[in-house]
Amino acid sequence: MTAPRLGWWWVATPVLLAGMVFFALDQVRTAGYVLAAGLGLAALLRLVLPASRAGGLAVRSRAADVLTMAGLGLVLAVVTRVLDLTPQG
């Protein structure tokens, strides 16, 4: 018996890791946009790849996966946009 393929998840992973690095470097707005882009990329990959090639991106049905990742990416981008980062004193 062979292990299941992880597929193309590794294409979106560096983008998501870069977002976490920006967050660690205190670049919150950039981190939010990069993470949102990573979720959008993952949603796009899940949309265009067949289930046999999607690997770790395929969790539920294609529609549920794409809507979940794209929706979370959109919400994160909106929250990042309206985030007030001015110091309060």
Residue 85 and residue 69: Cα distance in Å, rounded?
A: 26
Phi, psi at residue 13, to the nearest 5°?
-60, -45
Q: Which residues of 21-59 are buried (b: 16+ CB within 10 A; e: fewer)?
A: ebeeeeeeebbbbbbbbbbbbbbbbbbebeeeebbebbe
In a domain, 13, yes or no: no
* pTM for the full predicted model: 0.88
d(CA 89, CA 77): 27
Task: Tell me whether residue 9 is in a domain.
Answer: no
Q: What is the pLDDT of residues 55-67, one digit of tens each?
A: 888 889 999 999 9
- Residue-wise pLDDT for 3-58, tens only, equals 567 778 888 899 999 999 999 999 999 999 999 999 999 999 999 999 888 888 88
Structural domain count, the chain: 1
Structural domain range at position 52: 28-82
- Fill in the amino acid letter for 87: P
Domain membership of residue 8 (yes or no) is no
